[in-house]
Structure 1
Amino acid sequence: MKRFLNVLVLFCLPFVLFFVYGMFGYEKSGGDLNRLGKISISEHYRDTLLANDTLPKLWTNFSEIDRNLEKGPIDVLIIGDSFSNQGTISYYNFLASIITLNVFNFDYNAFNLGDYYNPIQLLFGIKNSGLIEEIKPKCIVLEIVERNVIEHFRNLDHNLQIDKAELKDRLYSPVIEPLAFPVRTFFNDIVLYYRYGFFYKFNDHAYESQVYKLAMSDTLFSSGIDDLIFFEKDLINMHNTITEQNIELFNDGMNMLNKELESIGINLIVLVCPDKYDMYQDYIVNNRHPKNPFFDILRSKNKTYDFIDTKTLFMPYLEKGIKDLYFADDTHWSPIASKIVAQELNKVIGQNE
């Protein structure tokens, strides 16, 4: 029996050591890329970045308008995606802290809008139903992440109507979250941490990861790693959607939308958030991937709407070596970039008053 136990211990020991080392080796910082790519980044990475950003909530969520969408006035209405879902470190909260107007954000997560929420579609829907004329903001900030711009516009139903009653019906009621399976997640994380970690040595997306990892010429993050990590769709959607013709159609569509909104006294501001790959592509060592031309093409088009050229806005900061414009462990920008965007929006909104 003793011999059997010794053999069992010897058999199990490598597996125990395997998981113990992985448990301490894979630090979870909380970012989506850290989670998807199993790339270890200190859990304290964000502490310094967020330490000085202690603003209270200064904006109003669209869903909070008395739960019947009748509170107001709405001066600035933000309609966007996950870049417009960053809470107190968001650009719209910083905007609300420096502007005298009321800032409202369409908190899409509070509504059942389907699996593939499209901020452009939402704006067209509330315009077509007459709801936008009823609430009549002074300006609308339409925010879209770069990799989804063309896909969202291409899938647009120009005639869809979303009225007040439908939005009220689509408000989520509080629900009890389903139970998670932490044990299963733990073992899966450790296995993928080792597997991806090994394959990243030979391939920039570990052959199967959703996250790319490429060496950079400059240290532009304070995370302790010198690599750029970004989401695979930055490249996939660039290859599949970024063409001169598609960007021309999008720009024409925004011009037409702006004309309709201007006729009822509303100013349209289009805010495209650069993909992380696009923002940092010039700093990648021996980059085997093509450059993303999206902003170069869109910048050259004639526009009647106000366009926030965030890439041009951010480049001087990168050239000065400013770190962490984007979170190292995430697809989203950090409070540093949020403040820059808020200041630019304040300037553009002020010029239109």
Structure 2
Amino acid sequence: MKRFLVRTFIGAIPLLLLVLGSLYYYFRIRPELTGDLGQLGKIAFGTEYDARIGKPLLADRMVSPYEPGAPVGRIVTIGDSFSQQEEKGYQNFLAHRLGEPVTNIRLIQGEAPEQAALDLLHDGFFDTLPEVKWVIVESVERALVDRCLKLAPDRTPEASPLLRDGDGPTGPESGNGLLGRAFRQSKDWMLLHTGLAASPVCSAALSRPCFTLPGRESTLYFYRDDLDRLSVSDDELAAVRESLRTLHDRFRERGIELFYLMAVDKYELYQHLIAENPYPQRLLGTRLRELDSLEFFIDPLPRLRERLDAGETDLYLGHDTHWSQKGAALAADLLCEKILDRETEQATTDDENRPNFD
């Protein structure tokens, strides 16, 4: 009997360690996983940085999600996660710069903003919103080329890309669901921190502090997918330019001006400051800068890099893939300049075309 109990105890050790590890993860590590990179890579960045840098710089929110029947502003934005930062996002800063509200359209997860914008236009969505004069389509840099190459301007969509009620979880998870998720996450944490699984988060030492993340001021954390596309061929670039021109012209035909905002990838912005860079050089941003010849294309990279090289910290969040409120405000400044310039041009043209009865 004693031998049986000893063997049972020894056999239960792996399960006991797994349970103890899960409990440690859930109660000690999980609360410290801040930022999307912390969640993805199970990295305990802590809560101090998130609490400090996450405080909204603007006291009120002038950007609101689109709701059927609700008032819609002259400016509508359509984009990926960079367009879902609400009061901390570029739309809110733009709304304050212009002194008018901005309406943001949330998409079904995975929907390409470029295709979604054309689908909505094709379906007559904007025909029901004559107050809309400006549409801003935003796309993260690493997905821009492939999204544009797949753009189908004349397709008939099977369903609206708008995010409707019921597209996500409809209620709180059950106890079994929470327990299962906690177990899976603790397992992922153990695999990542024992080196048995490849992390989706890359890191590299920077030549100087670029963040105020405690203990990690000179470390760059970025999403591994930033390395998936390092450049673009001449033929691909020409096709991207044609797709964007088509997107712009389709909206202009309906009397709506469009701007296309590229959200720069974190690795793209900081790669030149990595000391002894173990990752391949990325030329994508340099090549995509050729799209600046499109008057509606907005590339924040040159201005972001100028501010970065001047010593600005936290242009992007240290523990996240997205730009900080500093970066969002910079993107808003670029958009504001473009919109005001275009409105001035339109006003001048209208004056020139107005009949003179003198």
Q: TM-score, normalised by structure 2?
A: 0.80
Aligned residue in 1 for 2:227: 235
Aligned residue in 2 for 1:41: 45
1:99 counterpart letter in structure 2: L
Aligned residue in 2 for 1:150: 145
Supply the distance in 2 between the matched residues of 1:170 and 1:215 (Cα, whole angstroms).
39
2:100 counterpart letter in structure 1: L
Q: Are the structure 2 counterparts of residues 61 and 162 from structure 1 closer, same or farther at C-alpha, using a change threshold of 3 Å?
A: farther
Supply the distance in 1 between the matched residues of 2:284 and 2:258 (Cα, whole angstroms).
20
Q: TM-score, normalised by structure 1?
A: 0.81
Supply the distance in 2 between the matched residues of 1:278 and 1:168 (Cα, whole angstroms).
29
1:38 counterpart letter in structure 2: K
Aligned residue in 2 for 1:273: 263
Does structure 2 conserve the Cα–Cα contact (< 8 Å) formed by 1:251 and 1:303? no
Supply the distance in 2 between the matched residues of 1:191 and 1:122 (Cα, whole angstroms).
37
Which structure has the larger Rg over C-alpha atoms?
2
- Alignment of 1:58 onto 2:51: no
Supply the distance in 1 between the matched residues of 2:163 and 2:85 (Cα, whole angstroms).
22
The SS at the match of 2:314 is: coil
| 1:305 CA displacement | 3.6
The SS at the match of 1:234 is: helix
**Which runs of structure 2 are paired with 1:209-288 in the superposition (5 Å)?**
209-224=199-214, 225=216, 226-236=218-228, 238-239=229-230, 242-288=232-278
Aligned residue in 2 for 1:320: 310
The SS at the match of 1:327 is: coil
User: For structure 1, which segment, 210-219 or 117-126, has the greater mean C-alpha deviation from structure 2 after superposition?
Assistant: 210-219
Given candidates 332, 349, 353, the residue that maps to 1:342 is 332
The SS at the match of 1:40 is: coil
1:48 counterpart letter in structure 2: R
1:66 counterpart letter in structure 2: G
Aligned residue in 2 for 1:197: 193
Does structure 1 conserve the Cα–Cα contact (< 8 Å) formed by 2:300 and 2:334? no
Aligned residue in 1 for 2:95: 96
Which runs of no fewer than 5 residues in structure 1 stay unpaired? 200-205
- What does the per-residue CA deviation read over 1:270-317, in whole Å, with 9 as the maximum and x for residues that have no partner? 100111111111122222332222222222246344222111121122
Aligned residue in 1 for 2:286: 296
Does structure 2 conserve the Cα–Cα contact (< 8 Å) formed by 1:248 and 1:298? no
Aligned residue in 2 for 1:172: 165
Aligned residue in 2 for 1:202: none
2:153 counterpart letter in structure 1: H
The SS at the match of 2:277 is: coil
- What does the per-residue CA deviation read over 1:103-160, in whole Å, with 9 as the maximum and x for residues that have no partner? 111122xxxx4x5211111111122233334424221111000111122122222213
Does structure 1 conserve the Cα–Cα contact (< 8 Å) formed by 2:56 and 2:88? no
Does structure 2 conserve the Cα–Cα contact (< 8 Å) formed by 1:254 and 1:305? no
Residue correspondences, number: 331
Supply the distance in 2 between the matched residues of 1:335 and 1:243 (Cα, whole angstroms).
33
Q: Which aligned runs of 4 or more in structure 1 are off by greater than 6 angstroms?
A: 11-14
Does structure 2 conserve the Cα–Cα contact (< 8 Å) formed by 1:26 and 1:193? no
Does structure 1 conserve the Cα–Cα contact (< 8 Å) formed by 2:316 and 2:327? yes
- What does the per-residue CA deviation read over 1:202-244, in whole Å, with 9 as the maximum and x for residues that have no partner? xxxx8611111222222211112232111121112x15x7333
Does structure 2 conserve the Cα–Cα contact (< 8 Å) formed by 1:212 and 1:231? yes
The SS at the match of 2:137 is: strand
Aligned residue in 2 for 1:331: 321
Does structure 2 conserve the Cα–Cα contact (< 8 Å) formed by 1:30 and 1:43? yes
Supply the distance in 1 between the matched residues of 2:307 and 2:31 (Cα, whole angstroms).
29
Q: Are the structure 2 counterparts of residues 140 and 310 from structure 1 closer, same or farther at C-alpha, using a change threshold of 3 Å?
A: same
The SS at the match of 1:348 is: helix
- Alignment of 1:124 onto 2:127: no
Does structure 2 conserve the Cα–Cα contact (< 8 Å) formed by 1:258 and 1:305? no
